[in-house]
Structure 1
Amino acid sequence: MTFPSAFDAFVPSNGPEFLAASTIQPTYVPFTTLSAVPIDTAAHAASFAYAKKLSPPGVFLHVVRCFYFALALLYTGFPSGTPGVPQIGFEELSMRLYHTTLLHDLGWSNSTEVLNHPAHAMTFELHGGFMAYEHLHTAAPDLDADQVGDIVQSIVLHTLQWSSGNSSATQILMSVSALFDIGGYNGTGIAGLDYKRLWHPKTIEEIEKAYPRGEFYHQALAAVDREFTQKPNCLASHFPGGLEGFTNEFRVGPIVPEDSRARNVRGLKALQFRDSEQE
């Protein structure tokens, strides 16, 4: 089995409708298959270096994991060939996904460069989106307006969801992957979208082994606390339950513990969330 050559460029934003348009099965995808996808252009390297320079180490590993989570969905049945829907080639989509995932949390950085950026007072999605836009025009000048627009818009909208309408393939993969990495199989993601139907535990285990969670929990928590304190009207403030509701979603440990030997989602141990952590 290989990656399909093309995918639906636009998919339903509604969770159940998205699943109905797909043939996704939680099939095991070896990390060797995912890591073999070429990401070797100068523009790819520039986004990797930019994200690594600006992001806290745990957040950087998070954005890389998101890329591989998204690739796994392209392998296991992401909508493709739907009559009347424009198609996007695998190489093009994987390129857009790489830039989007690697750059999507620039607004969570506490580096001087990020905090002094003119957009620093905006909600982190917009803040990071502006920085990604500027970076791409410098580091990837060959990208056209449609490509840059899809990448940046997917960053800006990745924490939002809608019950109707369409998302680009890049956008929904960015959103689903980011929310899954934060909350795991039991986390709150796109309404009506059951993560247990999307990823095989062994796929997740191998991605987390290659890019461990490290200090992501604590670094993400610090970024969110800062966001809510400095920007009470941030997009994340609309999450049910506000700051507490949002941060209770954050996993403390791996989604799938290494060597868990889980053959399916039911085989996983109980998940650890912030509200169960002992102070």
Structure 2
Amino acid sequence: MTFPSAFDAFVPSGGPDFLAVSAIQPDYVPFTTLSAVPIDTAAHAASFAYAQKLTPPASFLHVLRCFYFALALLYTGFPSGTPGVPQIGFEELSMRLYHTTLLHDLGWSNNTEVLHHPAHAMTFELHGGFMAYEHLHTAAPDLDAQQVGDIVQSIVLHTSQWPSGNSSATQFLMSVSALFDIGGYNGTGIVGLNSSLLWHPKTIEEIEKAYPRGDFYQEGVGIFDREFVKKPNCLMSHYPGGLDALVKDLRVGPIVPEDSRARNVRGLKEPHFRD
């Protein structure tokens, strides 16, 4: 089995509507398959270096996990060939996904360059989106307006949800992967979309082994607390239940502990979350 050559460029934003056009099965995808996807252009390297420089250490591993979570969905049945829906090639989509996932949390940084950016007072999604836009125009000048627009819009909207309408494939994959890495199988993901229907635990275990969670919980709590205090109208302020509910949803440890022998979601031990 290989990756399909093309995918639906736009998919339903709501979970039930997405599943209606999807053929995703939560099959095991070896990390060796995912890591073999070519990511070798100068522009890719520039985004990696920029994200590594500015994104907090544990969050940098988070953005990398998001990329591979998204690739796994492309392998296991992401919508493709739906009549009347424009298609996007695998190489093009994986390129957009790489830039999007790697750059999506630039606004989380305490780096001086980030804090002094003119957009620093905005909600982190917009702040990071502006920085990604500027970076891409400098580091990836060959990308056209549609490509840059999709990448940046997907960053800006990755914490937002809608029960109807359409998202680009890039945006949907960015959002569903980030929410999954934040909360795991029992976390608050896209409404109406059960993560157990999307990813095989062994796939997740291998991605987390390659890019461990480390201090992501502690780092994330600190970042969200700062965001809510300094920007009471931030996009995440609309999270159901506010900051307390968000922190409760954050995973403390790995989604699938290494060598847990859990080969299906029911085999995972509870509780997943901090008491």
1:27-106 to 2 correspondences below 5 Å: 27-106=27-106
4+ residue stretches of structure 1 with deviation over 4 A? none
Q: 1:217 aligned to 2:217?
A: yes
Q: Does 1:198 align with 2:198?
A: yes
State the 1:220 CA deviation. 1.0
| Deviation readout 1:33-81 (Å, 9 max, x if unpaired) | 0000000000000000000000111000000000000000000000000
Q: What is the 5 A alignment of 1:1-279?
A: 1-274=1-274, 276=275
Cα–Cα, structure 1 residues 271 and 139, in superposed 2: closer, same or farther, change >3 Å?
farther
Q: CA deviation at 1:247?
A: 1.3
**Residues of 2 paired with 1:221 and 1:92: CA distance?**
34
Q: CA deviation at 1:271?
A: 3.6
Letter in 2 for 1:264: N
Secondary structure of residue in 2 paired with 1:88: strand
Q: Superposition RMSD on alpha carbons, in Å?
A: 0.6
How far did residue 272 of structure 1 move?
A: 3.2
Aligned counterparts of 1:270 and 1:114: Cα–Cα separation in 2:
38
Long gaps (5+) in structure 1: none
After TM superposition, the structure 1 stretch with the greater mean CA deviation from structure 2, 263-272 or 35-44, is 263-272
Helix, strand or coil for the counterpart of 2:28? coil
Q: Which amino acid aligns with 1:159?
A: T
Residues 186 and 272, structure 2, Cα contact 8 Å, conserved in 1? no
Separation in structure 2 between the aligned mates of residue 156 and residue 15 of structure 1, nearest angstrom: 20
- Distance in 1, matches of 2:182 and 2:14, equals 20
Matches of 2:93 and 2:177, distance apart in 1 = 15
**Structure 2 counterpart SS, 1:177:** helix
Partners of 1:15 and 1:271 in 2: how far apart? 25
Whether the 8 Å contact between 2:150 and 2:168 is mirrored in structure 1 is yes
Whether contact under 8 Å (1:34, 1:71) holds in the other structure is: yes
Contact kept? 1:66, 1:101, Cα under 8 Å: yes
Contact 2:105-2:125 at 8 Å conserved across structures = yes
Q: Matched residue of 2:266: which SS?
A: helix
Output one character per residue of 1:249-274: Cα deviation in whole Å (capped at 9) or x when no partner.
Answer: 10000000000111110001114323
Letter in 1 for 2:231: K
Contact between 1:26 and 1:198, CA under 8 Å: does it hold in 2? yes
Name the amino acid aligned to 2:213: R
- Aligned partner of 2:47: which letter? S
Distance, in Å, in 1 between the alignment partners of 2:181 and 2:271 is: 13
Closer, same or farther: CA 143–271 of 1 in aligned 2, 3 Å: farther
Alignment CA distance shift 1:77-1:106 (3 Å) = same
Q: What are the Cα deviations for residues 154-211 of structure 1, in whole angstroms up to 9, with x where unaligned?
A: 0000000001100000000000000000000000111100000000000000000000
Render the CA deviation track for 1:219-267: whole Å, top value 9, x for unaligned.
1111101000000000000011111111111000000000011111000
Asked if structure 2 preserves the Cα contact closer than 8 Å seen for 1:255 and 1:271, the reply is: no
Q: Percent sequence identity over matched residues?
A: 84
Local SS of the residue matching 1:248 = helix
SS at match of 1:53: helix
Name the amino acid aligned to 1:75: Y
Task: Give the counterpart letter for 1:98 in structure 2.
Answer: Y
The answer on whether the counterparts of 2:9 and 2:87 sit within 8 Å (CA) in structure 1 is yes
Check conservation: 1:8, 1:88, Cα contact below 8 A.
yes
